[in-house]
Structure 1
């Protein structure tokens, strides 16, 4: 019996010895491309030319439900850009309110030399189904799109990294909505110049335009608008000539287009920080008047091809996120009524929808009661600051902060502030990342 045990022991030792002497085969780690390809709803990946500081750069297409609450409606493909730097670095998630215009690093990714995940908003650019069911374009569906993408990228590449979401303007609205539905999906957020509107045509815009800047500058702005209306016939001929040469058109008519452009001037003037010295005096030609008007307002908000591209923006604004209108009362001698001119014409053809006030109220409630680690950036003179987020007095206890650049406009970023304020802002973000 004892002999059998000795033989068995020698046999086991022989097996162990053989295994230990066998050559060690190292399994190579999967590449970034392979890890991304392993995501179940990724349908296409393309490795792109390097940009910014990224070591690798990818365009990725995710297959997403058209309606997360009704999967029978099918799917669409959503575009994402990933600037891969290092799995030990933070991930800056740029939640675009529109399409993706560039895959370059944004302000935060550049500052931290971090990874960047840019998510195109559903139904912009090519991130749209062949035929759009407009009722599925909701902030809830968009937030669920973003959550799926963030979770998938985190799982395969960055399980230990900090994630910070960020967005500009409508992207800021998108960032707020994403945090309201998925408060723990990222570690913190930085929101730039985003409105929080409580009505479809939020009247705070009108009050803002009556009080922003100095009295002298406001008077010059209004005087220029009056000058445009006084020269309306000449300006209309110029717009017709431009339309003919540039093949431009307006679904609600060229005369309405001119009126809306003149009314938009004050909003655009303050939004983009126009230099008051650029406003023409009264004794200039219609050519100069028209040029300045278009330099400030442009054609991209009302012209038919632009409206088609911006259709998802108008739908969201007119149904959940809010916009503004134009008061005609200050120009009553040029109009037959005191009506507020609205954007009803911007609905997709054949469909309208009642504005739902609940989503923005829910975001406000979230910010007032439970939101944590969100930093807001605004420009004082930006017209969209009329409906900026207002923080509760105890907001800093939940690490909610708001910084307003004096006389800043819609282009205000962290780099727009004085150095000491930039340091203060980045110290907050540093603490979130650490």
Structure 2
């Protein structure tokens, strides 16, 4: 009997032993778990699904304040991810500003692709408690973006094609990213982005002197003159608006009105204003003021807007360039022909000399070695004054430029006629194969 019990005991023991050494099933991690496992992800939240995406996430990455000097500390950078399929392309929207929505952009919508939106450093809450403005450089931003792209690729899309894209300052951001990391993604599509070579690039003035027809330019200048003739009445209306909307201007309300009038011609062409909407010289001051603000808005000079745009102004005044305002055409109202500039938009107590080197390096990159990039512009967009130049031979490297006739700053691929859209998408299709 003892022998029988011993045999039974050994038999049961062998079964238990076999079970304990059997291989454990490989349970696939969820996308949430994969993203949460990224070393420098400090917060992740699954959000309501948008567009065609199956899953949407808000992710916060911890980034060095200065990639060349990591001991200076870190900040958190926000990212939106729209997940569709691990085998489909990933469209990376490199924003020049903050991000507010995870909805599919033009390319992600067209290809029903995944989309990664990266907020630019120092916009919204993607910033340290105290900003050292000298760390806001196109190089640091490019390194932010590369770290995020690499991390997302490694955990979710190791076999997918990646295409970066950006609009306006986002286009500048996309160019800079490719200049520092030319092989980090497979291709890029850039919309309506300037490539300025001076802090106040004079090509803007030449553009405004020649864009459209002479009749249109005359009407624009006449309206600006009408505004200056009615300066005092318009100033009273601006003061009333300031009181009602609780607005203020660091450089004074009088300067705010002058800058708004001078900005009018740039904004008119940038946003494709209908020349028929320009008030006649018999219009009331209320109608004149309404049209001026409808075109220019308050968002470029008013204090709260300038504060939220501070990173834009810093970048423009130190590396990426902007423009100024010629007063010579309105010399009798200024008793001067100086160019009015944006020095007042520097952060309080901080300034820095403009360096032309970063944009010249991007130009050299585009001229000599850049590959697989498309540039989209509107012919009448004021920012086309400093558009990227593409040589005829650049197509051998996959560089293309498309200009929408009479297009403005809202020009996208869908803005073109169907035949041209097909041509553009055929190029992108070839990059995605």
Same fold (TM over 0.5): yes
Helix, strand or coil for the counterpart of 2:78?
A: strand
What is the aligned partner in structure 2 of residue 9 from structure 1?
none
What is the aligned partner in structure 1 of residue 11 from structure 2?
none
What is the aligned partner in structure 2 of residue 289 from structure 1?
288
What is the aligned partner in structure 1 of residue 371 from structure 2?
372
Deviation by residue 1:138-158 (Cα, 9 ceiling, x = unmatched): 000000000000000000000
What is the aligned partner in structure 1 of residue 200 from structure 2?
201
Q: Distance in 2 between matches of 1:319 and 1:258?
A: 26
What is the aligned partner in structure 1 of residue 145 from structure 2?
146
Q: Distance in 1 between matches of 2:392 and 2:30?
A: 48
Shift of residue 102, structure 1, vs aligned partner: 1.2
What is the aligned partner in structure 1 of residue 79 from structure 2?
80
Runs of 4 or more above 6 Å deviation = none
What is the aligned partner in structure 2 of residue 220 from structure 1?
219
Helix, strand or coil for the counterpart of 1:295?
A: helix
Relative to structure 2, which stretch is displaced further, 66-75 or 175-184? 66-75
What is the aligned partner in structure 1 of residue 160 from structure 2?
161
Q: Distance in 2 between matches of 1:26 and 1:112?
A: 35
Deviation by residue 1:3-39 (Cα, 9 ceiling, x = unmatched): xxxxxxxxxxxx9xx979x976422100000000110
Q: Distance in 2 between matches of 1:26 and 1:214?
A: 72
Shift of residue 393, structure 1, vs aligned partner: 2.4
Superposition pairs for residues 225-264 of structure 1, below 5 Å? 225-264=224-263
Shift of residue 255, structure 1, vs aligned partner: 0.1
What is the aligned partner in structure 1 of residue 111 from structure 2?
112
What is the aligned partner in structure 2 of residue 183 from structure 1?
182
Q: Distance in 2 between matches of 1:233 and 1:385?
A: 34
What is the aligned partner in structure 2 of residue 336 from structure 1?
335
Q: TM-score when scaled to structure 2?
A: 0.95
Shift of residue 290, structure 1, vs aligned partner: 0.1
What is the aligned partner in structure 2 of residue 393 from structure 1?
392
Q: Distance in 2 between matches of 1:368 and 1:391?
A: 7
What is the aligned partner in structure 1 of residue 403 from structure 2?
404
Relative to structure 2, which stretch is displaced further, 295-304 or 388-397? 388-397
Verify: 1:427 aligned to 2:426, yes or no.
Answer: yes
What is the aligned partner in structure 2 of residue 302 from structure 1?
301
RMSD (CA atoms): 1.3
Q: Distance in 1 between matches of 2:381 and 2:298?
A: 20
Helix, strand or coil for the counterpart of 1:301?
A: coil
Q: Distance in 1 between matches of 2:199 and 2:378?
A: 22
Shift of residue 392, structure 1, vs aligned partner: 1.9
Verify: 1:123 aligned to 2:122, yes or no.
Answer: yes
Helix, strand or coil for the counterpart of 1:100?
A: coil
Q: Distance in 1 between matches of 2:250 and 2:72?
A: 30
Verify: 1:46 aligned to 2:54, yes or no.
Answer: no
Q: Distance in 1 between matches of 2:90 and 2:254?
A: 48
Q: Distance in 1 between matches of 2:374 and 2:148?
A: 23
Q: TM-score when scaled to structure 1?
A: 0.95
Verify: 1:265 aligned to 2:264, yes or no.
Answer: yes
Helix, strand or coil for the counterpart of 1:68?
A: coil
Q: Which runs of 5+ in 1 are unaligned?
A: 1-14
What is the aligned partner in structure 2 of residue 27 from structure 1?
26
Q: Distance in 1 between matches of 2:301 and 2:98?
A: 18
What is the aligned partner in structure 2 of residue 316 from structure 1?
315
Helix, strand or coil for the counterpart of 1:99?
A: coil
Q: Which runs of 5+ in 2 are unaligned?
A: 1-13
What is the aligned partner in structure 1 of residue 170 from structure 2?
171
Q: Distance in 2 between matches of 1:142 and 1:203?
A: 27
Q: Distance in 1 between matches of 2:43 and 2:351?
A: 35
Helix, strand or coil for the counterpart of 1:94?
A: strand
Verify: 1:100 aligned to 2:73, yes or no.
Answer: no
